[in-house]
């Protein structure tokens, strides 16, 4: 008998009592009257990120370039190296066309798009809509563009939306929730931002009506 | 040291309390998590088949390992067949359980731990003292000295820090040392031929592997090298995305007192031009399912909340346990691994039951420890002197005449010279002064109506 069959057989033999899957519909998860305000609050406090709201008439690319130029530790005085595959965003590196993921390790600012924002914990859902997902992690600084109407109250709502997305399961092999910059407290429990991945995150909220395309 | 350790982990416990109090549905979430795990674990064979089928459909290679030996062999074969010289690895208690690192190093493969705490321990050749915050017992001075000694380009990195953040007067400042580790580890990611991760959850319905970190090291490990190997204990499965919502909300709140980990990553297939392997490891888990009294340990999702709240763990720290996982869950898992080797840990419990009250999946941790203690006699590990004392007390309390007689004679013990009384033979005298027996007992005083 193969190991696989051996394990499955023993599991079937040893499961004496069986239990039904519980109904989860009775769970009344926390829900906010103003999820956007809660999302901004959580993003700028516990998650340790910044929020910039795109105003009417502003062009997405202009705002991104000005945020990127003002970010700390970018480019050593020169222009920052920006990576993005978002249409209309000026970038020197495109994660879809780089030969090797290593190239994304020199990126100062990665610009990516979030698909869902979660108010309870500042998580932003980012499916792998690019060839090399290293842009989401290796960039020194991250700008995540998010539509205001993509913000939900809690993780249950977020997972419900993802589970319902056929496109996600057909096209993408990876998706991640990101809540603020990479952090650690492994040295004497002192909180430090910028462990191995992005040292800073700016969430750029744009309105439901497209400023961009 | 003990005070700092105690305060650090009680602080985490208090953060967890604030998280739980902020959610009105907290107890419903715990109950749901417990029921989902009970359901999944009792249907594990079906869910494993479903998981495997979906993972294979997503282009993932799935392997099965019945024990540590088979697991180590499978991983070694994947790595050697791809010519891997260096592997970057995010934290996984399973690889710790199977001693994978030693095994790979014997084969000449360099293994680099990428979780900062784990990397510190690896450089210092120490074992983790906690499953989530493994190196909190190490002081910053020791970490600084280790980095200066073992990171070859330390000085160069330090210069870069001055350029970015200005100079620091404290050479062991955590921000500075974290920066050094960042630059050191980012070089490892770029150089590695393969990335290894554990799995916090496996989702049967979709074949996803979910990995949660704060540092992003699991993501760096799998975004740059093209080969990704996941090591997953078979009990990590949950049915679907709906269930995932419940566990995602509990894990970080219970483990570190955060609303979420920074990264919650769903891996469903290989990178473009890459390969993804999942090794499903049993190593005793299917046998635990058949253990009527202890099968619920399989519900555990390794958040560490039980150790943060445990008064014994907080005051004695991880190395005082003989099993590699400390605290209440470690006591139980150690007994399930080998009771003859790890029975001494069952004493490391005051039966305060705090662990049961914080466990997000409601594992009956202290009840199980109590049960193990009842079994020590049949396992042949009951303490002989305690056993004799219990037998003597049982005789004494069941024979009132003898009891009264002994009680009347007890003040005579006061006349025994102290050096004879404070011998090693008398366990009471270890660390104590022998007490003085009063001339008359409580019983006697009561009868004489002097009370």
Verify whether the Cβ–Cβ distance A27 to B240 is below 8 Å. no
Does domain B19-285 fall into CATH 3.40.50.10420? yes
Verify whether the Cβ–Cβ distance A197 to B245 is below 8 Å. no
Nearest CA in chain B to A119: B259
Residue from A43, A45, A75, A44 nearest A140 by CA: A75
Distance from CA of B106 to the nearest CA of A (A): 25
The 3-state DSSP class for residue A13 equals helix
Verify whether the Cβ–Cβ distance B286 to A156 is below 8 Å. no
Q: Is residue A144 assigned to a domain?
A: yes
In terms of residue numbers, what domain contains A132?
32-206
Q: Is residue A118 assigned to a domain?
A: yes
pLDDT of residue B432: 72
State the angle between helix axes of B26-42 and B241-255 in degrees (0 to 180), rounded to the nearest 10.
120
Verify whether the Cβ–Cβ distance B39 to A13 is below 8 Å. no
pLDDT of residue B1: 66
Alpha-carbon distances of A125 from A211, B114, B136, B238, B372, rounded to whole Å:
21, 24, 31, 20, 44
pLDDT of residue A212: 41
pLDDT of residue A213: 38
Q: Is residue B178 within 8 Å of A184, Cβ to Cβ?
A: yes
* Residues B239-266: tens digit of each pLDDT: 999 999 999 999 999 999 999 999 999 9
pLDDT of residue A211: 44
The 3-state DSSP class for residue A60 equals helix
Domain boundaries along the sequence of chain B:
19-285, 289-379, 390-447
**Which region holds residue B380: left if phi is over 0, alpha if psi is between -120 and 50, else beta?**
left
Number of domains in chain A: 1
Distance from CA of A146 to the nearest CA of B (A): 17
Q: Is residue A23 assigned to a domain?
A: no
Residues in chain B closer than 8 A to A132 (CB atoms): 223, 271-272
Q: Is residue A8 assigned to a domain?
A: no
What percent of chain B lies above the pLDDT cut of 70? 99
CA pair distance B403, B346, nearest whole angstrom: 32
Verify whether the Cβ–Cβ distance B175 to A192 is below 8 Å. yes
What average pLDDT does this structure show over B320-327? 96
What is the pLDDT confidence band of residue B164, given thresholds at 50, 70 and 90?
confident
Q: Is the pLDDT of residue B206 over 50?
A: yes
What average pLDDT does this structure show over B111-135? 96
The 3-state DSSP class for residue A205 equals strand
Verify whether the Cβ–Cβ distance A196 to B23 is below 8 Å. no
Verify whether the Cβ–Cβ distance B259 to A122 is below 8 Å. yes
> DSSP character for A64?
H
Quick one: how far is CA B62 from the chain centroid?
Answer: 26
The alpha carbons of chain B give a radius of gyration, in whole angstroms, of: 27
Give the one of A137, A159, A169 whose C-beta lies nearest to B223's C-beta. A137
Q: Is residue A86 assigned to a domain?
A: yes
What is the pLDDT confidence band of residue B122, given thresholds at 50, 70 and 90?
very high
Distance from CA of A57 to the nearest CA of B (A): 33
Q: Is residue B93 within 8 Å of B333, Cβ to Cβ?
A: no
Nearest CA in chain B to A104: B224
Structure tokens at A65: 């370039």
Give the one of B136, B206, B292 whose C-beta lies nearest to A189's C-beta. B136
The 3-state DSSP class for residue A66 equals helix
CA pair distance B291, B344, nearest whole angstrom: 21
Pairing of strands A50-53, A200-206: parallel
What average pLDDT does this structure show over B68-91? 97
Does domain B289-379 fall into CATH 3.40.50.300? no
Q: What string of H, E and C letters represents the secondary structure of A153-197?
A: CCHHHHHHHHHCCHHHHHHCCEEEEECCCCEECCCCCCCEECCCC
User: How many contacts (CB atoms, under 8 Å) link A and B?
Assistant: 262
Verify whether the Cβ–Cβ distance A189 to B49 is below 8 Å. no
Q: Is residue B79 within 8 Å of B85, Cβ to Cβ?
A: no
Residues in chain A closer than 8 A to B168 (CB atoms): none
Q: Is the pLDDT of residue B359 over 70?
A: yes
Give the one of B246, B260, B287 whose C-beta lies nearest to A179's C-beta. B260
Nearest CA in chain B to A130: B272
CA pair distance A50, A41, nearest whole angstrom: 10
Nearest CA in chain B to A164: B241
Strand partners, B175: none
Q: What's this model's pTM, rounded to 2 decimal places?
A: 0.92
Distance from CA of A18 to the nearest CA of B (A): 5
pLDDT in tens, chain A (213 residues): 899 999 999 999 999 889 999 999 889 999 999 999 999 999 999 999 999 999 988 999 999 999 999 987 654 567 899 999 999 999 999 999 999 999 999 999 999 999 999 999 999 999 999 999 999 999 999 999 999 999 999 999 999 999 999 888 888 999 999 999 999 999 999 999 999 999 999 999 998 655 443
Nearest CA in chain A to B286: A11
Residues in chain A closer than 8 A to B282 (CB atoms): 3, 7, 10
Verify whether the Cβ–Cβ distance A7 to B214 is below 8 Å. no
Residues in chain B closer than 8 A to A133 (CB atoms): 219, 223, 271
* Residues B18-52: tens digit of each pLDDT: 999 999 999 999 999 999 999 999 999 999 999 99
Q: What string of H, E and C letters represents the secondary structure of chain B?
A: CHHHHHHHHHHHHHHHHHHHHHCCCHHHHHHHHHHHHHHHHHCHHHHHHHHHHHHHHCCCEEEEECCHHHHHHHHHHHHHHCCCCEEEECCCHHHHHHCHHHHHHHCCCEEEECCHHHHHHHHHCCCCCCCCCCCCCCCHHHHHHHHHHHCCCHHHHHHHHHHHHCCCCCCCCHHHHHHHHHHHHHHHHHHCCEEEECCCEEECCCCEEEEEECCCHHHHHHHCCCEEEEEEEHHHEECCHHHHHHHHHHHHHHHCCCCCCCEEEEECCCCCCCEEEEEEECCCHHHHHCCCCCHHHHHCCCCCHHHHHCHHHHHHCHHHCCCCCCHHHHHHHHHHHCHHHHHHHHHCCCCCCHHHHHCCCCCCHHHHHHHHHHHHHHHCCCCHHHHHHHHHHHHHHHCHHHHHHHHHHHHHHHHCCHHHHCCCCCHHHCCCCCCCCCCCCHHHHHHCCCC
Strands (E), chain A: 50-53, 82-84, 109-113, 116-118, 123-127, 141-147, 151-152, 174-178, 183-184, 192-193, 200-206
Q: Is residue A7 assigned to a domain?
A: no
The 3-state DSSP class for residue A31 equals coil
Q: Is the pLDDT of residue B285 over 60?
A: yes
In a mutational test of the B interface, the residue from A23, A197, A198 whose CB has the highest number of chain B CBs within 10 Å is A197
What average pLDDT does this structure show over B106-133? 96
Distance from CA of A132 to the nearest CA of B (A): 7
Q: Is residue A155 assigned to a domain?
A: yes
pLDDT of residue A73: 60
In a mutational test of the B interface, the residue from A195, A198, A200 whose CB has the highest number of chain B CBs within 10 Å is A195
Residues in chain B closer than 8 A to A121 (CB atoms): 259-260
Mean model confidence pLDDT for chain B: 94
Q: Is residue A169 assigned to a domain?
A: yes
């Amino acid at each position: 008998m193969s190991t696989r069959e051996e394990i499955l057989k023993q599991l079937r033999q040893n499961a004496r009592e069986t239990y039904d899957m519980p109904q989860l519909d009775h769970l009344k998860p926390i829900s906010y009257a103003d999820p956007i305000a809660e999302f901004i609050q959580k993003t700028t406090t516990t998650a340790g990120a910044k929020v910039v709201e795109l105003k009417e008439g502003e062009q997405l690319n202009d705002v991104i370039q000005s945020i990127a130029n003002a970010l700390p530790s970018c480019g050593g005085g020169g222009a920052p190296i920006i990576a993005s595959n978002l249409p209309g965003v000026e970038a020197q590196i495109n994660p879809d066309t780089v030969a090797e993921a290593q190239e994304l390790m020199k990126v100062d600012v990665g610009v990516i798009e979030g698909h869902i924002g979660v108010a309870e914990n500042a998580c932003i859902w980012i499916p792998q809509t690019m060839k090399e997902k290293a842009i989401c992690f290796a960039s020194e600084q991250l700008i995540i563009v998010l539509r205001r109407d993509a913000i939900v109250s809690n993780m249950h709502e977020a997972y419900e939306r993802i589970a319902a997305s056929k496109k996600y399961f057909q096209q993408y092999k990876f998706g991640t929730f990101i809540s603020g910059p990479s952090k650690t407290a492994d040295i004497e429990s002192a909180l430090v931002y910028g462990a191995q991945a992005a040292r800073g995150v700016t969430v750029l909220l744009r309105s439901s009506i497209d400023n961009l395309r | 040291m003990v005070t700092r350790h105690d305060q650090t982990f009680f602080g985490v416990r208090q953060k967890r309390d604030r998280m739980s109090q902020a959610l009105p549905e907290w107890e419903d979430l715990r109950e749901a998590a417990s029921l989902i795990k009970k359901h999944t674990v009792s249907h594990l064979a079906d869910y494993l088949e479903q998981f495997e089928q979906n993972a294979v459909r997503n282009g993932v290679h799935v392997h099965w390992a019945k024990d540590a030996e088979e697991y180590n062999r499978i991983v070694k074969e994947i790595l050697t067949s791809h010519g891997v010289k260096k592997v970057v690895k995010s934290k996984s208690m399973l690889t710790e359980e199977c001693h994978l690192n030693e095994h790979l190093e014997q084969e000449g493969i360099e293994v680099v731990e990428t979780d900062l705490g784990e990397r510190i321990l690896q450089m210092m050749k120490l074992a983790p003292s906690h499953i989530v915050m493994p190196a909190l017992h190490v002081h910053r001075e020791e970490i600084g000295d280790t980095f200066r000694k073992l990171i070859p380009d330390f000085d160069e990195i330090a210069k870069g820090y001055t350029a970015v953040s200005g100079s620091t007067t404290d050479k062991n400042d955590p921000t500075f040392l974290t920066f050094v580790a960042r630059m050191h580890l980012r070089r490892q990611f770029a150089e590695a031929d393969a990335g290894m991760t554990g799995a916090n959850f496996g989702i049967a319905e979709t074949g996803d592997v979910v990995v949660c970190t704060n540092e992003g090291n699991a993501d760096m490990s799998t975004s740059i090298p093209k080969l990704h190997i996941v090591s997953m204990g078979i009990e990590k499965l949950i049915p679907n995305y709906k269930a995932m919502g419940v566990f995602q909300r509990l894990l970080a709140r219970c483990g570190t007192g955060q609303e979420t980990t920074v990264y919650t990553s769903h891996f469903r297939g290989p990178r473009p031009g890459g390969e993804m392997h999942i090794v499903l490891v049993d190593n005793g888990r299917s046998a635990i399912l058949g253990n009527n009294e202890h099968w619920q340990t399989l519900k555990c999702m390794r958040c560490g909340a039980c150790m943060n709240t445990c008064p014994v763990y907080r005051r004695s720290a991880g190395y005082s346990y003989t099993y590699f996982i400390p605290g209440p869950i470690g006591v139980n898992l150690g007994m399930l691994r080998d009771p003859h080797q790890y029975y001494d840990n069952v004493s490391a419990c005051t039966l305060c039951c705090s662990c049961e009250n914080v466990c997000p999946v409601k594992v009956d941790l202290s009840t199980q420890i109590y049960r193990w203690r009842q079994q020590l006699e049949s396992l042949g590990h009951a303490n002989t002197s305690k056993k004799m004392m219990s037998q003597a007390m049982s005789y004494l309390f069941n024979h009132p005449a003898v009891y009264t007689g002994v009680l009347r004679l007890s003040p005579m013990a006061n006349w025994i010279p102290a050096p004879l009384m404070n011998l090693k033979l008398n366990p009471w005298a270890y660390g104590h002064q022998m007490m003085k027996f009063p001339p008359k007992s409580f019983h006697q005083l009561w009868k004489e109506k002097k009370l």
